[in-house]
Every structure is written in C-alpha cells, then in structure tokens.
Chains A and B, each alone.
Chain A
Amino acid sequence: MRSRSRLAGIAAALLALSGVAAPACAEDAPGATVTGDTITFGQYADQSGANAAIGAARYGLDAYLQAANAQGGAHGKKLRLISYDDGYKPAQTAALVKKLVFEDGVFAIVGGVGSPTTAAVAPTLNDLGVPLIGMATGSPIFYDPTRKYVFPAWPLYTTDGKTMATFLKTHFAGKKVGIIYQDDSFGKPILAAVESVLGHVEEVPYSPGQVDFSSAVVKFKAAGVDALVLATIAAPAAQILNELPKFNYAPVRVLTGSACGYTTIFKTVPSLEGAYCAAFLPTPESKDPQWTAFEDAMARYEQGHPAEIYSAWGWLAGQVAVEGLRRIRGPITREAFVAALESIKSFHTIGGDLSYSAQSHRGIGGQFIWQAKNGRWLTVPNSKVEP
C-alpha cells in the first residue's frame, strides 16, 4: 500500500509538472533568422536500411554545398550540412528531424530521401514554418495541395509513368504492354499514369522487400506481354531483369528513373543492353555542363563516392536551396527564403528547368527516355514528355 501511494503521488507530481511547465516549453523552431557566419541545412537519408543505396544523395548534396562554399557561399556565409541516417523508418525520420530543427537549429531541411519518411515530417515542418526543399520523391501527396514551406523538385511520379507510356505508344504501337509496380505511393501513381495513356495493361503488383519475381515473369510471358514497364526501385529491377533470360523471354523493357543507376545496374544486370529508362537527369555521355560540374565536384569533394544517379538527386536539392538563398534580399529569414524560392523561374538545374510560384511548387516538369547501349545510357532524341 505504502509503495502504491508513493508511486501514485509521484505520478501525480509528474502530470502536475507537465501542466505547469508545458505552456512555457512549447518550443518554436529556432533559427528562423540567420545571424552567424554559417547557414546550416539538415537532411534525412537512409544509410543503413532497405534503401541505403539511395542514401548516397547525401554526398551529392554535400558536394554542391562545398562547391558553393568555394565560390563564396551565400551572402558571404558558409553553407553546412548535417545529415542523419533514418534507416528509412518514418518514426526515426520524425525523431531526427526534431533533432535537426530543435537541437541543431538548421535553417531548412534539404534533399531528404523517401516518400514515407517525407510523409512523416512534411506536415509538421510546414506547421513549424521550416522549409523542406528538394526531397527525393515524386509522390503526388507533396505537390497537391501546395504547402507554403514544402518545395519538391522532382517531376511527379505520374510524369514518369506518362513518359514511359507515351514512348511505348509512339515507338512500339500495337505491342501488348505489362507493368510490374511497387504496391505503394511510389508505384501506384506510375501505374495510373501508364493506364491513362495506354488504357488497361497487364499488371502485377509487388510488395517492398519482395525478392522472388519468377511468378510475375511467368505470368507476363504467358499473357503474351511484348513490352514490360518496371515501376520499381533499383534492386527489384535488377532481380526482374535477371529473371527474364532464364525464361527465354525478351520483351521491350522500360524502367522508371528510380531503378536506373549510371553504372551499378550495368554490373548487376548483364542483359541490360537495349533497355529503356525514363529519366530527368542527363547521362554521363551527354557532356551536359550540368553533369560535368556535378562529376568534377564529386571527384574533388567526395572521394570514394562515385557520381551516381542517387548522389545527383542530392546535387539537385543543393542547387535549388542555394539558388533560393542567393535570391534573398535583406535579412536571411525563412520567410524571405520562401519568397525567394517562389521567385525562381526557369532555373537551369541538373534535372532540367525548374520554376516555382506562390500558387505552385511543382518544380521540374518534363522527362525523357534513355537507352542502354554498349554499357552506358544514351538519351533517345525527341523523347521528352511534359506533364
């Protein structure tokens, strides 16, 4: 009895303490105005979980900030990145973003990776008035409705699907099309976009983490599918593509941009020759000045980390954030930053031209098609599709 009453008393004290102290400690996000000589950005990216490969976005973002610092930073202030590993777990993302905002005092969150992880923090950051910029996802939930402090940069996943479907309709008219898609907010919008262009197609969903795709391949072959769309991330794409020759099955293959690495996929998929990929980034062979700048910076600042498609995602986020900063006139505040971002029109990025306005934070619009030839990706001429 004695211990029970004592515990109850302490419990009551704890609750009372929370009631008294809570009004005084409902924290606003610090760092709304930059006063020091450094502007700090925060990032969440999977470095250890199921999608650790795409966490390389961290190195591209860091490379861009270092390159910008070499040119004087922004408004004479150095740019700094704090990046945390969220293991692709939304709850961990929520915790780490609290650390970035309230402990590290970052000015904005830039280049975060993933749809569910971003979904966990986007509304909270918007409520706190902390900008969330250039996250690596094209999920429609971040574009509509437009949130004041959320600035996606990627083309929508629906544009991804529309680009692949339009390409097939134009170049492979009459072929029977099938699609294997990740059964979530990444794959479903691509499926919807493909079917909006081509009508109903043969479809097979798969769950994230699935490793055996032989039954799907058998189903497509049995159904007489001539052209196969892969709305997958990199690892399932490699597994599916490597299954095809085992069944003596050679359909036209079209991959989403999230499945196409610059170099790794050619090592993991020996039979990639001739496959297509919907992309918004330049190929290494393009000699595009945007690509060259990215490649040079990766070699200079991120030794040991190749200039890959995933690091290019981070580079793109860095371009958007720094362009916004440099457009600020007067004190560097989050409100001024948002206004500056909304003034960006037709800004040349590594992913194409990007525009924002107060009404729309759509970012980059169109995509085009690459083809695998002799162990490298080449851009297919006249394949660009606008949303």
Chain B
Amino acid sequence: MVSSAVLSFARSERFALLALVLAIAFPIACGFRTYPLFIAAQFAVFAMVALSLDVLMGRSGQISLGHAGFFALGAYAAAILSARFDVDLLAGAIAGAALAALGSLIVGLPATRLSGHYLGIVTLGFGVAVAQIALKWTALTNGDEGVHVRTIHLAGIVLSSPLHVYAVAFVALAAVAVFAARLPRTRLGRAFAAVRDSEIAAAAMGISVARTKVTAFVISAAIAGAAGALYAALTGFVAPEDFGISQSLLFFAMVVVGGTASTAGTLLGALVLDAVSQGAATVGGLSVALIGAAIVAVALFRPAGLKSLWRRGEGSR
C-alpha cells in the first residue's frame, strides 16, 4: 500500500517535470511562431478550467454543466477593467476570480440542498443566464459586439508578444495543477472526499457538509474566473458567443474523457479534446463530430477515463 503510494507520487512528480520541460521546450521547437504559441496558451487556459471543474466534480462529488459561466465572469471582469481602466492583468485576474467566486454562491448555496441531475440543471441555467446577461447588458458588456482588450500588462511589462501570454498561461496552469494534485492530501481535500463519498458519514465525523460543498464551488469558480481573465488577455476580445452551453459541455467532456479525480487525467483530457477541436477546425463540422466520438469511445472502452491507462483498477469516479 505504502509502496504503491510512493510509486504513484514518483509518477506524478515525473509527470509534472515532463510537462514543465515540454512547456519550456515547446516555444523553441515551434520557432516562437505566433499561432502555435496562441493555441498552446489557449490549451493552458482551458486546462485550468477543466482542473477547476475536476475540483468540483472529481474531488467533492458535485456537478457543474455551466462552468463557462464562471469562466465568462472572470473574462468579462478582466476585459472591462483593462479596456476602461487599463487595469493590470494580475489585478484583473484577482477581480475575475473574486467575481466568479461571488457568482458561485448563487449556485453553491442551492447546492447544499441539491445533488445529481437537479444540481446539473441549476448550474446549466446559471451558465445560460451569464451568457444572456453578457448579451443583454450592453452598457457594460457591449453586447454581441464584445469587449476589446488592446493592451495587456503585468507588473509593468506590456505583454505584447504571444510568448509573454504563453509563459503567463503555463505558469498559471502549473500553479493550478500543483494545487489540484496536492488538494487530496490536505484537510480540505479529505473533507471534499468525505462529502463526495458519503454526506451522512462526513456529517457524523463533524464535517459541515453545506460549508464544504459551498467551499468547493467557490474554489472551483475562482480558478475558472482567473482562467477567464487569462483568456481575455490571450484572445484580446470577449463576446457572449464564446461562453455558451457548448463551451460548458466542452469543459465537462475534458474532465470526463480524462477521468475525474485525477489531475494528470484531466490535463490529458483537456489536451486531447483541445487538439481534436483545433486540428479539425479546418474541416467544416468535423470538430464537433470528433469530440462527440471521443466521448462515446471513452464511455465505451475506458469508462473511468484516460487516467485508467496508467491507474489500473480505478472505478468510474
């Protein structure tokens, strides 16, 4: 048992190191070209959201079908602050995370009484509502014409190059990945697991089930909000069409395909689906079909997700 845990840790250490070495090698390998750096940074941002969703789904046993809503709150907060007040990216990310965390209370508080399909519907409604508010509140969001972010700066440095944003995105992803990987070994992570496995047993152990569930929502939303701020900096433009149901379902699929409660699995799921999505964009309609096929294939042949490739004997959770 102990040796298995050590082996698992060593593997995760090696995985993290390999991932970071690849992150450094990639810009050199691609010759610092704009498009590959942009796509890689976009993957980093989407992977952050997928990891945030896994904190909620995999670690605390709740569901969100509207995570693009939290992502949107962060993106809009950072974009509007940057466009109107020339606010720094870090401050924008903090504001985005705070706004998303605040928004999560709208969903998190009902979550103390809801679970499963009912919670799924509430989160789905939240995601749709945020996109609609972004569309209709034109005085703030500029409606479907979107918000442009012309100049992005961080700690006094203007992020004028795709490599800048790439570096910031991967450092942020690394931080979130380390947090997600270490979470299960913390007191909070154990409380999440206890609530996930049995709310009655968790309550009997003195864990506040309601507070734990809301905390999971707040943490998950804050990470997604910060990722949204990075997304605004990366694309330089935010519009409601980018935060619809399909985006929420893409994040959901990344976690399911990768395997819940697994940092490496979720990262791999994000990588696979983002690569499929980008690679197939040159052929009309193929992207959606391939993502659907990937989900069906995983459900049929790897119901525990891609993590089961290296974690044998995993259940479906």
Query: What is A's interface to B at a CB cutoff of 8 Å?
Result: 3-4, 6-7, 10-11, 13-15, 17-19, 21-27, 47-48, 52, 55, 84-92, 94-96, 98-99, 102-103, 115-117, 119-120, 123-124, 139, 141, 183-186, 207-208
Does B190 touch A at the CB level, under 8 Å? no
Chain A: CB-nearest residue to B170: A14
By secondary structure, the B interface counts as helix
The answer to whether A98 touches B148 (Cβ under 8 A) is: no
The answer to whether B167 touches A15 (Cβ under 8 A) is: yes
Does B275 touch A at the CB level, under 8 Å? no
Cβ contacts A to B, 23 pairs, < 8 Å: A3-B16, A6-B17, A11-B20, A13-B24, A14-B167, A15-B167, A17-B167, A18-B167, A25-B163, A27-B34, A55-B284, A84-B282, A89-B241, A90-B146, A91-B237, A92-B281, A95-B42, A98-B38, A102-B35, A119-B239, A120-B146, A139-B145, A207-B132
| With contact pairs A14-B171, A22-B160, A47-B285 given, residues A99 and B35 touching in the complex (Cβ less than 8 Å) | yes
Q: Which residues of A contact B198 (CB under 8 A)?
A: none
Q: With contacts A84-B281, A119-B144 known, what are 5 further pairs, Cβ within 8 A?
A: A7-B16, A7-B20, A22-B160, A48-B287, A92-B242
The answer to whether A90 touches B174 (Cβ under 8 A) is: no
**Which residue, B160, B231, B237, B283, has most C-beta atoms of chain A within 10 A?**
B237
Query: Smallest distance from the beta carbon of A240 to chain B beta carbons, Å?
Result: 20
The answer to whether B284 touches A11 (Cβ under 8 A) is: no
Does B189 touch A at the CB level, under 8 Å? no
Residues from 235 to 277 in B contacting A, C-beta threshold 8 Å: 235-237, 239-242
Does B87 touch A at the CB level, under 8 Å? no
Q: How far is the CA of A184 from the CA of B166 in the complex (A)?
A: 33
Q: How far is the CA of A85 from the CA of B288 in the complex (A)?
A: 11
The answer to whether A48 touches B284 (Cβ under 8 A) is: yes
Q: Which residues of A contact B163 (CB under 8 A)?
A: 17-18, 21-22, 25
Q: Which residues of B contact A116 (CB under 8 A)?
A: 144-146, 239-241
Query: Smallest distance from the beta carbon of B216 to chain A beta carbons, Å?
Result: 24
The answer to whether A120 touches B239 (Cβ under 8 A) is: yes
Residues from 2 to 59 in B contacting A, C-beta threshold 8 Å: 13, 16-17, 20-21, 23-24, 27, 32-35, 38-39, 42
Q: How far is the CA of A26 from the CA of B161 in the complex (A)?
A: 5
Contact of B174 among A11, A91, A124 (CB under 8 A): A11
Does B278 touch A at the CB level, under 8 Å? yes
Chain A: CB-nearest residue to B282: A84
Q: How far is the CA of A11 from the CA of B283 in the complex (A)?
A: 36
Q: How far is the CA of A102 from the CA of B39 in the complex (A)?
A: 13
Q: How far is the CA of A183 from the CA of B145 in the complex (A)?
A: 12
The answer to whether B282 touches A85 (Cβ under 8 A) is: yes
| A-B pairs with lowest CB-CB distance, top 4 | A47-B284, A25-B32, A18-B167, A48-B285
Q: How far is the CA of A90 from the CA of B144 in the complex (A)?
A: 10
| With contact pairs A85-B283, A91-B237, A95-B278 given, residues A18 and B166 touching in the complex (Cβ less than 8 Å) | yes
By secondary structure, the A interface counts as helix
The answer to whether A89 touches B242 (Cβ under 8 A) is: yes
The answer to whether A17 touches B27 (Cβ under 8 A) is: yes
Q: How far is the CA of A85 from the CA of B157 in the complex (A)?
A: 35
Chain A: CB-nearest residue to B75: A91
Q: How far is the CA of A134 from the CA of B241 in the complex (A)?
A: 22
Chain A: CB-nearest residue to B287: A48
Does B110 touch A at the CB level, under 8 Å? no
Query: Smallest distance from the beta carbon of B290 to chain A beta carbons, Å?
Result: 11
Q: How far is the CA of A103 from the CA of B35 in the complex (A)?
A: 7
The answer to whether B33 touches A103 (Cβ under 8 A) is: yes
The answer to whether B241 touches A85 (Cβ under 8 A) is: no
Does B164 touch A at the CB level, under 8 Å? yes
Does B143 touch A at the CB level, under 8 Å? yes
Q: How far is the CA of A185 from the CA of B287 in the complex (A)?
A: 28
Q: Which residues of A contact B166 (CB under 8 A)?
A: 18
Chain A: CB-nearest residue to B177: A7
Q: Which residues of B contact A119 (CB under 8 A)?
A: 144-146, 237, 239
Does B117 touch A at the CB level, under 8 Å? no
Q: Which residues of A contact B23 (CB under 8 A)?
A: 10, 14
Query: Smallest distance from the beta carbon of A206 to chain B beta carbons, Å?
Result: 12
Q: Which residues of B contact A85 (CB under 8 A)?
A: 281-287
Does B135 touch A at the CB level, under 8 Å? yes
Q: How far is the CA of A139 from the CA of B33 in the complex (A)?
A: 33
The answer to whether A185 touches B144 (Cβ under 8 A) is: yes
Q: How far is the CA of A51 from the CA of B39 in the complex (A)?
A: 24
Does B178 touch A at the CB level, under 8 Å? yes
Query: Smallest distance from the beta carbon of B32 to chain A beta carbons, Å?
Result: 3
Q: Which residues of A contact B38 (CB under 8 A)?
A: 95, 98
Q: How far is the CA of A84 from the CA of B282 in the complex (A)?
A: 5
Binary interface profile of B, 170-186, with partner A (CB < 8 Å = 1, else 0)?
A: 11001100100000000
Does B136 touch A at the CB level, under 8 Å? yes
Q: Which residues of A contact B135 (CB under 8 A)?
A: 183-184, 207-208
Q: Which residues of A contact B145 (CB under 8 A)?
A: 115-116, 119, 139, 141, 185
The answer to whether A90 touches B284 (Cβ under 8 A) is: no
Q: Which residues of A contact B136 (CB under 8 A)?
A: 183, 207
Q: Which residues of A contact B17 (CB under 8 A)?
A: 6, 10
Chain A: CB-nearest residue to B160: A26
Query: Smallest distance from the beta carbon of A331 to chain B beta carbons, Å?
Result: 25
Query: Smallest distance from the beta carbon of B171 to chain A beta carbons, Å?
Result: 5
Residues from 200 to 248 in B contacting A, C-beta threshold 8 Å: 231, 235-237, 239-242
| With contact pairs A120-B235, A184-B144 given, residues A27 and B281 touching in the complex (Cβ less than 8 Å) | no
Query: Smallest distance from the beta carbon of A123 to chain B beta carbons, Å?
Result: 6
Q: Which residues of B contact A103 (CB under 8 A)?
A: 33, 35
Query: Smallest distance from the beta carbon of B38 to chain A beta carbons, Å?
Result: 5
Q: Which residues of A contact B24 (CB under 8 A)?
A: 10, 13-14, 17
Chain B: CB-nearest residue to A29: B34
The answer to whether A90 touches B178 (Cβ under 8 A) is: no
Chain A: CB-nearest residue to B154: A15
Q: How far is the CA of A186 from the CA of B241 in the complex (A)?
A: 14
Q: Which residues of B contact A94 (CB under 8 A)?
A: 235-237
The answer to whether A90 touches B281 (Cβ under 8 A) is: no
Q: Which residues of B contact A84 (CB under 8 A)?
A: 281-282
Residues from 125 to 175 in B contacting A, C-beta threshold 8 Å: 132, 135-136, 143-146, 148, 150, 157, 160-164, 166-168, 170-171, 174-175
